[in-house]
Structure 1
């Protein structure tokens, strides 16, 4: 059986169940992978760093984390390893387009989350991630980022599915050659720099860890996981994933409410017994 030396896990809808928790069995199996097989477990998410760090602590793992779907890679010891930002002119254009469909817009840079005002969407995201956003007019924020010669790692839109679908079409007609644009669920649309992807970040870490792509097991549940699932030696879709994601994966495991991550690890690392 193929020996996997690296496991890459998406978080929401994959590692976490629908109550946004890691089940005790999944936690125990991940800790056995790290301790018994000495295989790094990398959390790969569209989340910001502080939305991932507390899960690392819960799992008792300390590997680098991939944030914003690959736009930012951080190590707990040395800080930022890889950083891709969106230009401020692109942010302004995206802001103008979002207003045409009435979508909520959040901006993420480094370990900060910004909104112009708190609304039901911001409150929903805050409840999921246990993080509160900073409230700031984007005009002032863009001016600050301009002075610091930086920009956001991610733009997140939240709206009803119809509005998200319309916004996705409009954004892709403007930015398809310059930005990565994809829905992470029916009510969420995410934007990153064109060269930022979960795969590019995993490739970066593989070079640092001297691990080949065919030695990677990757597990995810949504469209922003597609590139990662295709890149890995074994890409596994969750049972709760949309059908196109399942069809693109090498295998489908159980859902996140049925401990699909634990089941996949147990199957392909059979020496790791279920607690």
Structure 2
């Protein structure tokens, strides 16, 4: 663990989006918006998210991130140059075996994969807003879901709880892939060994920066590796306990502008 007194000033900042910058209603407070914009005027800001590029780019635009930076999408499976959308790095896997296991252990679950153009193929419609407010979706059969390797497989069941999905991940016996349980009944399956730190390593190499100067802020289980990779990792106040344990510090919740409180310390 690194103490705040032993770190800084940051040379680069990595920010999760949902639950860190945006609340669960996609609200972005003026305080957080101002803090991120001021930070981006001084050091590179890299958004590191489970979102697809298609739903990450509008957030980067809203934050007025400078051209020539990078965003890490799909939980690290895609590192993309902003704003032109050029894919700098991409990691994929064959989800066929996982899809069969999901149908065995969670027959009512909905599944989705990202298509190359940022749209989604889904086995059934997801709850409104789950895949992004303006996400393009196409409903397909299980057999049509992943005819070729994908960057991630999303599993969702609105009738189940977060703890149900923690148990589901254990029952699925997920070998050869990485997985992240979301804040609700949501499970992200990624290529083996791929997480947000994977994409951040690519982005920092492109920027010529060292992770010792990286400040990272996140709230989810899919942020744990990012927080460990960073020179200083900060968990949001509403994060699960295992995320807080992985962090060097815990800030306030997204409702209380925790990301702004952290950024305002240095910027």
Partner of 1:96: 100
Partner of 1:140: 144
Partner of 1:112: 119
Distance 2:146 2:215 in 1: 39
Matches for 1:33-182 after TM superposition, within 5 Å: 33-35=39-41, 37=42, 39-61=43-65, 62=67, 63-75=69-81, 76-77=83-84, 79-87=86-94, 91-100=95-104, 101=106, 102-110=108-116, 111-118=118-125, 121-126=126-131, 128-143=132-147, 145=148, 151-159=149-157, 160-161=160-161, 163-171=164-172, 173=173, 175-176=174-175, 178-182=176-180
Q: Does structure 2 retain, via aligned residues, the 8 Å contact 1:155–1:192?
A: yes
Task: Give the superposition deviation at 1:259.
Answer: 0.6
Q: Does structure 1 retain, via aligned residues, the 8 Å contact 2:49–2:72?
A: yes
Task: Give the superposition deviation at 1:134.
Answer: 1.5
Larger helix proportion of the pair: 1
Task: Give the superposition deviation at 1:197.
Answer: 1.2
Partner of 1:188: 186
Task: Give the superposition deviation at 1:220.
Answer: 0.3
Ranges of 4+ aligned residues in structure 1 off by more than 6 Å: none
Partner of 1:148: none
Q: Does structure 1 retain, via aligned residues, the 8 Å contact 2:113–2:145?
A: no
Unmatched 5+ residue regions in structure 2?
1-6
Distance 2:221 2:56 in 1: 20
Provide, for residues 167-208 of structure 1, a one-character-per-residue CA deviation record: whole Å limited to 9, x for no partner: 20122x2x33x1001202231111000132111111111111
Distance 1:135 1:71 in 2: 23
Within the alignment, does 1:13 sit opposite 2:14 as a pair? no
CA RMSD of aligned residues (A): 1.7
Task: Give the superposition deviation at 1:242.
Answer: 0.9
TM-score normalised to the size of structure 2? 0.88
Matches for 1:199-218 after TM superposition, within 5 Å: 199-218=197-216
Q: SS of 1:15's equivalent? A: coil
Q: Does structure 1 retain, via aligned residues, the 8 Å contact 2:110–2:123?
A: no
Distance 2:242 2:121 in 1: 32
Partner of 2:221: 223
Q: Does structure 2 retain, via aligned residues, the 8 Å contact 1:229–1:236?
A: yes
Distance 1:166 1:235 in 2: 27
Q: Does structure 2 retain, via aligned residues, the 8 Å contact 1:114–1:136?
A: yes
Q: Does structure 2 retain, via aligned residues, the 8 Å contact 1:109–1:154?
A: no
Task: Give the superposition deviation at 1:125.
Answer: 1.1
Distance 1:220 1:8 in 2: 9
Q: SS of 2:18's equivalent? A: helix
Q: How many residues align?
A: 252
Q: SS of 2:146's equivalent? A: helix
Q: Does structure 2 retain, via aligned residues, the 8 Å contact 1:48–1:108?
A: yes
Distance 2:262 2:229 in 1: 17
Provide, for residues 92-138 of structure 1, a one-character-per-residue CA deviation record: whole Å limited to 9, x for no partner: 221122122222111123312111232xx343514x54323122224
TM-score normalised to the size of structure 1? 0.86
Q: Does structure 2 retain, via aligned residues, the 8 Å contact 1:18–1:256?
A: no
